[in-house]
Amino acid sequence: MTIAEIAKLAGVSKTTVSRVLNNKPDVLVDTREKIMELISLYDFQPNAFAKAISHQRSNTIGLVIPYDANYIFSNPYYSEIIRGVSLEAKNNGYHLMLTYSEGDDYISVVKQKRVDGLIIISPGSDHRIVIQQLKKLKIPFVATSRMPKVMDINHVCIDDFNGACLATEHLISLGHRRIGFINGPSILASSEDRLAGYKNTLEKYNIPYDGNIVGNGDTSIESGHRVMQRFLKNEELTAVFAASDLMALGAISAITESNRSVPEDISIVGFDDIPLSGFLSPPLTTIRQLAYEKGCIATKMLMEMIRGKSTEIMIMMPVEIIIRKSTKKI
């Protein structure tokens, strides 16, 4: 059943049916009642896109994800952000459209007016040109982290610098001085801030920085395993801080394969506090960030922007260290 068919049965124009659907005035009471009876009789559900056109809105927000769907939905951190975005969008009567950050697919989505705004997960330095395009198009958008060397975009971030300080300082308090760092992708501002926090804390305690026990992964288990295998060539290493819990899990696997154990031989601290972290063997000491809440807050910010209201350009969320059994005093 379409608007045209409802209009034909009611003996009115499509415009009149549309006015009734959108609760507009200037429709005779008898005509309105007749149209509503037909809508009820045929269980008519107006096409969301067609209805939105009359409001000059799509009632859809785009969620730009940085990797392919298989990776995103197998990573609990990203899944939690998406869960928060999805629920908050639903609470505001909005649909959610997933699109990838590779290429300019989401620029096309914006130009076609298929979305009213965008949430961009973890934009990196390689997004700079696209961000400039979005600004020119005047489309509301919110990022779920700070962008490297870009401060004038709306974003929700965590205190990555302090998180790295907490992790490194915890290991130092246990007597560790040879502390490796498995960082995330170098194109991310979060990686810049965590590296700065790690370096700053080493300097605070007069511990020399050694680039040989610093490496970058892509936040996955596999990359944590790969970097840890390189670190294990350094016999003096006693602790590692990994910038994601999944990379910490990969590091633990590499340590176990080398006939060493956590925390007896090497202490490990992760980052994120994904639900799995407390159930690992040993349970993982980690930096807790609230990914689900971040998704909710980013969506609330975007909704305010879509409605033309002013918002804070940045919201920084706190982090805390959760001490479990993957770290040990030496």
pLDDT, tens digit (0-9, with 9 covering 90-100), for 106-133: 787 888 788 999 999 988 888 888 888 8
Number of domains into which the chain is organized: 3
146 and 179, same structural domain? no
Q: Which of 229, 236, 273, 235 is nearest to 251 (CA)?
A: 229
Residue 42 lies in a domain: yes
User: What pLDDT band is residue 321 in, cutting at 50, 70 and 90?
Assistant: very high
Instruction: Quote the Cα angle for 165-168-172, to 5°.
Output: 125
For residues 299-323, average pLDDT:
96
For residues 148-154, average pLDDT:
84
pLDDT for the residue numbered 103: 58
Q: How many residues does the chain have?
A: 330
Could you tell me the residue range of the domain that residue 21 belongs to? 3-46
Q: Is the pTM of this model over 0.85?
A: no
pLDDT in tens, 72-112: 788 899 999 999 999 999 999 999 998 876 656 678 788 87
pLDDT for the residue numbered 71: 75
38: left (phi over 0), alpha (psi -120 to 50) or beta: alpha
Residue 327 lies in a domain: no
Distance CA 148, CA 220 (A): 21
Strand 155-158's sheet: what is its strand order? 95-100, 60-65, 117-120, 141-143, 155-158, 314-317
261 and 187, same structural domain? yes
User: What pLDDT band is residue 269 in, cutting at 50, 70 and 90?
Assistant: very high
pLDDT for the residue numbered 51: 55
| Contact yes or no for 227/255 (Cβ under 8 A) | no
Question: Exposure string (b/e) for 116-130, b if CB count within 10 Å is 16 or more?
Answer: bbbbbbbbbeebeeb
Is the pLDDT at 198 greater than 80? The verdict is yes
Is the pLDDT at 150 greater than 80? The verdict is no
- Let me know if 199 is exposed, middle or buried by CB neighbors in 10 A (0-12, 13-18, 19+): middle
pLDDT for the residue numbered 42: 84
27 and 135, same structural domain? no
Token pair 């970058």 in the structure block, residue? 216
Q: Are strands 60-65 and 95-100 parallel, antiparallel or unpaired?
A: parallel
pLDDT for the residue numbered 125: 82
For residues 256-266, average pLDDT:
98
Which CATH number do you get for residue 103?
3.40.50.2300
pLDDT in tens, 289-310: 999 999 999 999 999 999 999 8
List the structure tokens of 84: 């928060």
Residue 200 lies in a domain: yes
